[in-house]
């Protein structure tokens, strides 16, 4: 790696107090500059210059491949995680096993597929964290696939992908990677389907994402909604409707946004240069500090403290009658976080500064003072 973690962190300019990267990550200078350059190119339309836009598809697939281990010809650009997961779930038959507590991209996708095509059934995992053991208990001969989130969006729990692969055998393993991609050095190669977007931890903004498929997934999935750009015809198919192209190329609906591809590629290339392990170490250190501050002020931490089960999310859950007080204190001190149900989710990144930690400390102190009055 040629870029230090400190140099990498200086390429972002998010305001102090921002602790909501699990929801959306403010884009960095490199991604922003890439977008501006290509928008300027598109605005001018100079003869021959727009050919550069067509080069972005291979570029972004190679950038995704460098971080996931999938070959570029097994990766299709997607505008978001959900569309990639929809491709997989609508192309699946048999029975998929998943938790009802997953982010709705998975649960809604599975149910919509079952309702529309009647080729897929869903089996819901019992309540609790998704572990190899909990999955093993509910596997049946009818189970053709298991779908999981790399990191649970509500609890921050990091799943054991390798353990899950061991218990499910050659069934398809579908992974919604959005809450871990870019911050967890995960063994993506054990999965058959990996989908993610770039608006969170990779900090590439909306309209960016990918779908990566193993050979097994390509063999077993059917490209149900495959667009005119996803055939083997050179150029646009006219006066005919050719079949979908073989392989992952079939999992596309229309021509992609090359500027979004370039923005995503630039962010991923920079991330590869510094290395995901270095980012992970910095983020884990930051989450440790958030946990320590919560402990200092007696705010219950309900996300895992185990390093092996933690990515970039810390979840605190004060008593019900104190939640509004905590949220108000964080708001008054300029701390950005996600409040969902009875919890507050805090997520730091490499650019999280000392000033941000001091703002969080002040908000926790204000909360502690308020509840003791």
**Rounded Cα–Cα distance for residues 155 and 161 (Å):** 17
Residue 160 main-chain phi, psi, to 5 deg: -95, 90
Q: Which residues neighbour 250 within 8 Å (Cβ) at sequence distance 6 or greater? A: 223, 226, 230, 244
Model confidence band, residue 200 (pLDDT cutoffs 50, 70, 90): very high
For the chain, the structural domain boundaries read 5-26+276-372, 29-274
**Rounded Cα–Cα distance for residues 36 and 34 (Å):** 6
CB count within 10 Å of CB 371 equals 17
For residue 164, pLDDT over 80 is answered with yes
What's CA 319's distance to the chain center, in Å?
30
What integer is the mean pLDDT of 298-321? 96
* Digit-coded pLDDT (tens) for 280-301: 999 999 999 999 999 999 999 9
pLDDT of 227 reads: 92
For residue 365, pLDDT over 90 is answered with yes
Residue 91 main-chain phi, psi, to 5 deg: -90, 0
**Rounded Cα–Cα distance for residues 30 and 276 (Å):** 17
What's CA 2's distance to the chain center, in Å?
25
5-26+276-372 CATH fold: 3.90.1150
Q: In this prediction, what percent of the chain has a pLDDT beyond 90?
A: 92
Q: Say if CB 248 and CB 216 are below 8 A apart.
A: no
Model confidence band, residue 45 (pLDDT cutoffs 50, 70, 90): confident
User: For 29-274, CATH number?
Assistant: 3.40.640.10
pLDDT of 254 reads: 94
Which is it for strands 172-176 and 143-149: parallel, antiparallel or unpaired?
Answer: parallel
* Digit-coded pLDDT (tens) for 85-112: 999 999 999 999 999 999 999 999 999 9
pLDDT of 1 reads: 58
Closest by CA position to 25, among listed 188, 263, 195, 193: 263
* Digit-coded pLDDT (tens) for 255-286: 999 999 999 999 999 999 999 999 999 999 99
- Three-state secondary structure string covering the chain: CCCCHHHHHCCCCCCCCECECCCCCCCCHHHHHHHHHHHHHHHHCCCCCCHHHHCHHHHHHHHHHHHHCCCHHHEEECCCHHHHHHHHHHCCCEEEEECCCCCHHHHHHHHHHHHHHCCEEEEECCCCCCCHHHHHHHCCCCEEEEEEECECCCCCEECCHHHHHHHHCCCEEEEECCCCCCCCCCCHHHCCEEEEECCCCCCCCCCCEEEEECHHHHHHCCCCCCCCCCECCCCCCCCCCCCECCHHHHCCCCCCCHHHHHHHHHHHHHHHHHCHHHHHHHHHHHHHHHHHHHHHCCCCECCCCCHHHECCEEEECCCHHHHHHHHHHHHHCCCECEEECCEEEEECCCCCCHHHHHHHHHHHHHHHHHHHC
For residue 363, pLDDT over 70 is answered with yes
Q: Spell 156-181 as b/e; 16+ CB within 10 A means b.
A: bbbbbbeebbebbeebbbbbbbbbbb
**Rounded Cα–Cα distance for residues 4 and 310 (Å):** 23
Q: Say if CB 182 and CB 208 are below 8 A apart.
A: no
CB count within 10 Å of CB 128 equals 11
Model confidence band, residue 372 (pLDDT cutoffs 50, 70, 90): confident
Closest by CA position to 176, among listed 241, 121, 239, 105: 105
Longest Cα separation, the chain: 76
**Rounded Cα–Cα distance for residues 74 and 357 (Å):** 41
Q: Say if CB 20 and CB 344 are below 8 A apart.
A: no
Calculate the average pLDDT of the chain: 96
pLDDT of 2 reads: 83
Model confidence band, residue 47 (pLDDT cutoffs 50, 70, 90): confident
* Digit-coded pLDDT (tens) for 328-337: 999 999 999 9
pLDDT of 52 reads: 87
* Digit-coded pLDDT (tens) for 206-252: 999 999 999 999 999 999 999 999 999 988 898 899 999 999 999 99
**Rounded Cα–Cα distance for residues 352 and 25 (Å):** 11
């Amino acid at each position: 790696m040629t870029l230090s973690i400190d140099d990498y962190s200086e390429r972002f300019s998010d305001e102090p107090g921002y602790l909501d990267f699990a929801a959306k990550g403010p884009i960095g200078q490199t991604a922003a500059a890439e977008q501006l350059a290509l928008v300027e190119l598109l605005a001018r339309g100079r003869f021959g210059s727009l050919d550069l836009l067509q080069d972005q598809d291979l570029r972004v697939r190679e950038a995704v491949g460098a971080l996931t281990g999938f070959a570029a010809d097994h990766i299709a650009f997607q505008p978001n995680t959900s569309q990639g997961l929809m491709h997989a779930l609508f192309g699946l038959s048999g029975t998929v096993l998943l938790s009802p507590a997953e982010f709705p991209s998975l649960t809604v996708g599975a149910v919509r597929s079952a309702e529309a095509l009647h080729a897929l059934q869903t089996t819901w995992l019992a309540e609790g964290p998704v572990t190899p053991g909990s999955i093993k208990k509910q596997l049946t001969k009818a189970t053709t696939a298991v779908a999981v989130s790399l990191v649970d969006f509500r609890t921050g729990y990091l799943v054991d992908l390798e353990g899950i692969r061991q218990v499910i055998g050659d069934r398809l393993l579908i992974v919604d990677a959005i809450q871990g991609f870019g911050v967890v050095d995960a063994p993506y190669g054990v999965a058959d389907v990996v989908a993610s977007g770039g608006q969170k931890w990779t900090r590439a903004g909306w309209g960016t994402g990918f779908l990566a498929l193993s050979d097994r997934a390509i063999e077993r999935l059917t490209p149900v909604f495959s667009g005119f750009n996803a055939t083997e015809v050179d150029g646009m198919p006219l006066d005919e409707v050719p079949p979908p192209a073989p392989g992952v190329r079939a999992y596309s609906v229309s021509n992609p946004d090359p500027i979004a591809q370039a923005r995503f590629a630039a962010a991923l290339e920079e991330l590869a240069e510094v290395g995901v392990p270095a980012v992970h170490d910095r983020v884990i250190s930051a989450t440790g500090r958030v946990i320590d501050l919560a402990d200092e002020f007696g705010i219950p931490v309900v996300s895992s403290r185990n390093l092996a089960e933690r990515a970039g999310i810390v979840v605190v859950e004060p008593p019900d009658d104190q939640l509004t007080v905590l949220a108000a204190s964080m708001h008054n001190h300029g701390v950005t976080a996600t409040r969902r149900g009875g919890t507050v989710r805090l997520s730091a990144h490499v650019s999280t500064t000392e000033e941000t930690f001091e703002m969080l400390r002040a908000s926790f102190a204000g909360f502690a003072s308020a509840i003791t009055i």
